[in-house]
Amino acid sequence: MTQDFSKDKPIYAQLVDRICGDVLKGYLKPGEKLPSVREYAIESGVNVNTVQRVYKELEAMEMTETKRGQGTFITTDEERIGQLREEMMTQVATQFLTMIDSLGFTKEEMIEVLKKGG
């Protein structure tokens, strides 16, 4: 079925996150071709305009390259992928730190919990 989207974030942004996640997890390999805009729209059950925006955004992030007449491909620049990984980790860490701060937990306490696996 059509994938579900959370309501508080634009759909294009959720799809960008999803594709980046697939790259980081290795489901999408460097140099791998993405489906055409229409195919991806049908697959994910969203508007073609939305997917166009997703592909534009990925290109601006240098996560993909568009080859004229051939389609859109995941970047082969592994350094860029490494960078994205770092960026994502920082992002997750920042969110986490803000959250534990708002609940009054210390980092040290949390490290213990994390080591135990939650």
Partner 1 sequence: MLQLENVLFKYRKKPIINDVSFTIPTGQIIGVIGENGCGKSTLLQLMAGLLRPNKGAIQLEDRKVTRRSADKIAYSPDIDLFYESYTGEQVFRFYSEQFSDFSLEKAHIIAKHLEAQTTVKLGKLSKGNRARIKMAATLGREASLYLLDEPFAGLDPLARESLIKALIRFIDIENQSVVLSTHEVNEVEPILDQVILLRDGRLTAMEEMELIRDERNEDAVEWMKSLYEKQVR
Q: Are 55 and 72 in contact (CB under 8 A)?
A: yes
Q: Which is nearer to partner 1, 42 or 110 (CB)?
A: 42
| Cβ neighbours for 35, distance < 8 A, ≥ 6 positions apart | 43
Give the DSSP H or E segment for 67. strand 64-67
Subset of residues 16 to 75 that bind partner 1, contact rule: CB under 8 A: 38, 41-42, 44-50
Q: Residue 11, interface with partner 1 (CB under 8 A)?
A: yes
The residue count for binding partner 1 (CB under 8 A) is 20
Q: Residue 95, interface with partner 1 (CB under 8 A)?
A: no
Both tokens of 47, joined, read 């508007």
- Where along the sequence are the contacts to partner 1 (CB under 8 A)? 1-2, 5, 7-13, 38, 41-42, 44-50
